[in-house]
């Protein structure tokens, strides 16, 4: 994991987590700095407050000295048990981010290792994510495969 510091976030990191979430959303959605993200920030703060407290989310913040350079999170949830997943417990990786000048140096891979290890330690064997074009090669190399059986309905 090189000389970078990988810090498991806790409630004291709330401001950094929310700031990082906004930064990730701006980058992933190609949003300008003047796009209003106030509501997303408020709701993200509420999400982190609850999920860090109840254990339904684990996040890592990555630093080079005092400089923030990356992040990643994993959310835990339950669905009805199935034959292939008798516990019904699942995990969803999100908020993966590495500062552009630190990309291709193993930061995201090491963060992903920590998140997957967290899920495995919780007995979860089904982990999903949505990949950006930039992140897809990392996830494919890691062993993630494109899901073909799921469908999504988005209602506005």
| Residue 114 reports pLDDT greater than 80 | yes
User: Residue 26 and residue 32: Cα distance in Å, rounded?
Assistant: 7
How would residue 2 be classed by pLDDT, with cut points 50, 70 and 90?
low
- Residues above pLDDT 90, as percent of the chain: 78
What is the predicted pLDDT for the residue at 108? 95
* Mean pLDDT, rounded, for 29-51: 95
Can you list the domains of the chain with their CATH numbers? 5-142 (3.40.630.30)
* 92 and 49 Cβ atoms separated by less than 8 Å: no
Question: Average pLDDT of the chain?
Answer: 92
| Residue 8 reports pLDDT greater than 90 | yes
Q: Per-residue pLDDT tens for 71-112?
A: 999 999 999 999 988 999 999 999 999 999 999 999 999 999
């Amino acid at each position: 994991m090189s000389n970078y510091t990988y810090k498991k976030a806790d409630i004291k990191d709330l401001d950094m987590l929310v700031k990082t979430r906004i930064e990730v959303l701006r980058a992933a959605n190609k949003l300008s700095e003047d796009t209003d993200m106030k509501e997303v920030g408020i709701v993200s703060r509420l999400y982190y407050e609850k999920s860090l407290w109840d254990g339904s989310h684990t996040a890592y913040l990555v630093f080079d000295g005092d400089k923030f350079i990356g992040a990643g999170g994993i959310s835990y949830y339950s669905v009805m048990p199935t034959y292939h997943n008798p516990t019904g417990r699942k995990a969803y990786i999100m908020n993966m981010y590495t500062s552009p000048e630190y990309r291709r140096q193993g930061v995201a891979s090491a963060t992903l290792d920590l998140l997957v290890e967290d899920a495995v330690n919780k007995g979860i064997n089904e982990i999903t994510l949505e990949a950006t074009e930039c992140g897809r090669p990392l996830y494919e190399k890691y062993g993630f495969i494109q899901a073909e059986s799921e469908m999504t309905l988005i209602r506005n």
